[in-house]
Structure formats: C-alpha cells, structure tokens
Structure 1
Amino acid sequence: MKQRAEERPTPSRSAPVRAPEVERRTLRELDPERLRCRLEDELLAKLERGADLSGLAARVTRAFDPARVRRDLLARSLRLSRSMAPEAYATLTESARVLGLPATGPELELYQSAGHENAAMHMVEAPILVEVQGRLLTQLDDSGLCFVFGHELGHYLAHGPRGERGQRHMAAHTLARGGALGGGGGAREGGGSD
C-alpha cells in the first residue's frame, strides 16, 4: 500500500547528523616534536637572528598574566558549563584523552563567542581554555568537533605555555602583532591560536 506524500516520514532538518560510535585509542607517547613542521623551526631560527627572541620571550613570560587572559575571555564570551553543553564537553574530554592529556590534569574550559566560525586555544597552562566562535558547535557533528578540539589541544601540546618552545611561541606572536612587551593583547595575549 502506498503512502501519500504528506504521510511519509521525513528526516528532521534541524537534527544534527551523528557519527557512529567509534572507540578511539589513546595516542601513546605522542611526541609533538615528531609532528612539528620543519618551517616552524626555520622561522624561529630566523627570528632569533634578527631579534632577541630569547630576551623577548623572557620579558613576555614575566609580563604574562593568565588570570587576565581568562578574565578577558569571560568578559567577551560565554563559558559553557558541562550541563549547558554535555555533548561538546564529552567530545572535548575524549579529544584530550586520545591526545594523552591526563584526566587528572588541568581542567578543560569551553567558551562560546561571536564571530566567524573558528576555534582558538588560549595559551594558559591551567585551566586549558578552548574557545569556539560563531555557530561552530551547532554546525559540526561529533567527528567534526573531535577534529577541531584535537587541533586546538594539539596547539596546547605542541607550543603551549610550558617550556622554552611555548615562551618562544608567545614572543613570536608578540612580534607578529607588532607588540612590544605583551601589551594590550587582551584575551589573545599569550598567543591564542586558531
């Protein structure tokens, strides 16, 4: 028996497409140095020759205020709680686990802000600040969000706030923005990465 057109079930246009459940293995002993782009080291070496990058890195690190970065982010965006965005937090937590960030490590904080669809990692050691912009959370399925969160957490691991590389990265961002001593960077202070 044929159904009339108005009786046929139609897929909901607003329901997000969910990827099938996949068990994701932890990337054991992830070494960001093995994944690093050769050009990054070449560019940092050129900066070292033309500027006192190590000296600037030390000054930027001393002037860097992680509490200010977090305050500025809170002032211009919405901090999403786990109860407000349980699926996004589950995906963020799973991305951190796969990349080898310990569950007992720094807390993960997720922020939503206006703007074009993008994401950013703010180079604060703890808590780990991940910002999504525009309608990114609603436009991506679980796999897409996992990719975005993994990318941003990769910034944290590869050139985050810890160690000499993180300090040099912050100094390079300061030079790229035409700044001197960490001045006026707001929430992007500290080398927010997209």
Structure 2
Amino acid sequence: MLKRLSGIIEHAWRGGASRSSSASGRSTRQPFFSRLRAKYDAANTTLDNMKHWSRADGLSAAAANSPDVRRTLRNRSRYEVANNSYLPNSLRTLDSTFEHQWFWDGHEHVDPAKEANAQKIRLSNHTTTLAIEFARQGRDWETELKQRAKELELMHQLGLSLDSNFVDTDVHEDKDDHDDQEQTVQQAT
C-alpha cells in the first residue's frame, strides 16, 4: 500500500510527461526539487534504519511497526482524545462557553422611510426578530440594545422627554395626498 501511495504522490508531482514546459524541461506542476521523497521510516528497513534500531535495546523497525504497537498507540490516542486528560478542567468546556456570530456589512435601503415602516410591521407581526433586523444593518443586536438602555437611562437622569409623540412613527405614503397637491398647484395657476 505504501508503494502504491508513493507512486500516486510521485505521479501527481510529476504531472505526467505530456505537461512539460518547453523552457525549463519541467512540468508546470513540478516544483524546483526533482520529486517528492516522503516515506514512512519504520516501514522501509534500510541500512541506516537497521543501525538506528539496533542501538535501541534490541528493538527493530519491524517490531516498532508491528500491529500490536500500532494498536496500542491508536488506542492510547483515542483514550486521550476521549477523556481530554491533556486539557485543564477550565478548557474542557470551551466549546460550550464561547458563542460567536458573524456580521456582514449592512446595506442602506433605497427608501429609508419605507424600510422603517416595513421593519415596524415585521416586528409587530412577529415575523422577524431584533437580531435579524440589526443583522441586516450589519450591527450586533445585544450591543445596540445595551447602548439604547444606557441612552434611555441618561435621558431619564437628565429629565429629557422619553415621549415619542412628537415623532411620526407611522410612516406611509398616500397617492391621494400627492394627487391633491398636484390639483391645488394646477388650480393656483
């Protein structure tokens, strides 16, 4: 299997004989080194490898690569991952304690009055949430609500009016009003 894998990797790095560059003689996918030389050291017993393992208390490359050793290492790594014994207790629950959200840039509506009225209707009909509406503007709803609470508290401390009667919150456009204005302009001329 390792020979097959190394053959696949070598073929991928060479890129095939038909793709060679005429200027350099190399394939367009081939890097500056001649080919990828990556091997599993314990699988191939070379003279250097045999010398190395012979000095290690009678162990050999074949013994280190035996199914029993691989099974032991695999089981040990699975145990470590399952029990997180290498992590402090404070870091074991990081995934559940950290929440994140993505915010993209908001887009300005062509007619802000119509958008404000539509937003008011969506919120009153419960077809949207503040999180969704603030996200459309590229803002975090929790941050904005905390800021609004600070503003309202300061307005109350300063004795400023919290009454919004002076602001027309029901924004709508009537064609009849526009037609009436045109008729009065025509009558005046």
TM-score range, shorter chain: under 0.3
Structure (1/2) with the larger helix percentage: 2
The normalised TM-score by structure 2 is 0.21
Structure (1/2) with the larger strand percentage: 1
The normalised TM-score by structure 1 is 0.21
| Structure of greater Rg | 2
